[in-house]
Structure 1
């Protein structure tokens, strides 16, 4: 019998925010896949290790993804990762691919799952708490009230048009262009808050746009609302 692939969302950073289902799935899978060169460099592994006792007994696949927007390079990498996973599935081993937040939101995992499923293997998604939900709770803020709209925007791309949308805007993947993003936001009549490394030991909260630094870690997220 062939193994099965699970895309497991481990949540935003705090191990206690992992779901029971995520923990049970990781416990029963003999092979863990992490999107990094070595599990010690995978934030998702460190989160899961805070809740799963038998992590050291697992086999590991280091599936590092290059930081590039070149689709040809990325597609080659996804194919390579899928091939390594399939090798384990053919041995009858279940594989848990660990991803931050939720696998359905801007996750490398989804590209790999599509390849795996196209080749006839079973794959399932185990949802995790999205980073922007955890960030809103840290700020004691609502993301959407009544008829408010909520827009999740990848701010590593151009965000000017997206900022015209009504309602709350969540800006993800901001770190690489943070100075530019901040400059754009300064032109708007908006309230902005940012959380860096939400739920992690080095978490930082910025309550005002003017407090946000020009440089921050990869795991930085902004919540933008119209000023009242």
Structure 2
């Protein structure tokens, strides 16, 4: 019998936000997969280990997922990752693939999930707390109310037009473009908040566009809200 691939969202950083279901499946899985060259480099792995120290005794499959927009390199790495996972599934082992936040939100895991599923293996996605929900909670604010709209924006791409959208705008994955994003945010009359490394030991909170450092880390998330009484 073939094993099942579980794409498990581990939340944004705080190990106490790991769901009961996620922890159960991680405990039961014969193999733990992580999106990294080695398990020590995986933030998701480190989060789970704090909640479940016995994780270190598990067999770990390190799947390298390069940070690139080169389509050929991405397709090759995704196919290789899927093949590595399928080797374990063919032995009847269940694989728990750890991913930050929720697997359905800008997750590189999804590419492997689709490939493995298309090859006829059973797959399941296990929701985790999305980073933007955790950030809003940490900031003690609501994301949307009444008829408000919510827009989730990948800010490693151009964001100028997206920032004109009404409602609450969530900016994720700015990376090296944080300086450009900051300049555009400074031109808005909107309320801007950002948390870097939400729920982690290195967490930093910024309550305005001016405070945002241009060298902020990859795990930074920005919430842009309209001023009360009108659209920005």
* Distance in 1 separating the partners of 2:81 and 2:227: 45
TM-superposed deviation, 1:188 = 1.7
Aligned to 1:108: 108
Report the CA distance between 1:43 and its aligned residue.
0.4
What's the TM-score, normalizing by structure 2?
0.97
Q: Runs of 5+ in structure 2 lacking a partner?
A: none
- Deviant stretches of 4+, over 6 Å: none
1:51 Cα deviation from its structure 2 partner: 1.5
Map of 1:128 onto structure 2: 128
User: Helix, strand or coil: the match of 2:98?
Assistant: strand
Deviation at residue 71 of structure 1 after TM alignment = 1.4
Mapped to 2, the partners of 1:133 and 1:100 lie a distance apart of 13
State how far apart, in whole Å, the 2-side matches of 1:52 and 1:170 are. 31
Q: Which position in structure 1 is the counterpart of 2:84?
A: 84
| Rounded Cα–Cα distance in structure 2 between residues aligned with 1:164 and 1:175 | 21
SS at match of 1:24: helix
Cα shift readout 1:19-68 (whole Å, capped 9, x = no counterpart): 00000000000101101111111000011111124212211111111111
Secondary structure at the counterpart of residue 69 of structure 2: coil
Given the two structures, how large is their TM-score scaled by the length of structure 1? Answer: 0.98
State how many pairs are aligned: 228
1:1-228 mapped onto 2 (5 Å cutoff)? 1-228=1-228
Deviations 1:156-206 (A, max 9, x none): 001111111100000000122100000111122211110000000010000
Q: CA RMSD for the aligned pairs?
A: 0.8
User: SS of 2:218's equivalent?
Assistant: coil
SS in 2 for 1:50: helix
